[in-house]
Amino acid sequence: MFARAFNSVIYKEGEEGVKATILNVTVNNGLLIMVKSHNGLHSHYSRSNGVMGCIPRILAAPVIVDDGFTDRLWQRTLGYLAYKDGVYSFKERRLMSIEEAQQAQIFFTRDTRRPFPHNKELANTASVDDVT
């Protein structure tokens, strides 16, 4: 299982990471959970309890299964390195913004946990041959 925040190129792996992402998306974006009762539909606004009840149904939905995901994740990250503030392209020798990487569908399961070293000498020493 993998899930990622909208503003990130890092996927969290495992059920706990997926649950945390679902909670963040619903709570931080004001997602409204509706419940059906004998009186019709009603909004159920409980920051975590209502969402926690929905998570097993979300995880069981067959539409979220993508058998080729890990292969695509691996293939699309070759030649790139994820930093906290962007994605370095060894081919282009530049730091791509998070938005650029998302548009190119370049995603990771980990990053360096530090910002890109914007020292031009250091950035220009790596080449595509060093990572392939």
Q: Per residue in 46-72, pLDDT tens?
A: 555 566 667 776 777 666 677 777 788
Q: Would you state the structure tokens that stand for residue 98, as one six-digit string?
A: 């998070």
Residue carrying structure tokens 């994740």: 73
Is the pLDDT score of 123 beyond 60?
no
- The partner residues of 94 in beta bridges, in order of sequence, read 89
pTM over 0.85: no
Query: What is the torsional sign of CA 96, 106, 81, 127?
Result: negative
Determine the pLDDT at residue 2: 74
Which pLDDT belongs to residue 126? 54
Q: Where are the domains of the chain?
A: 2-64, 69-131
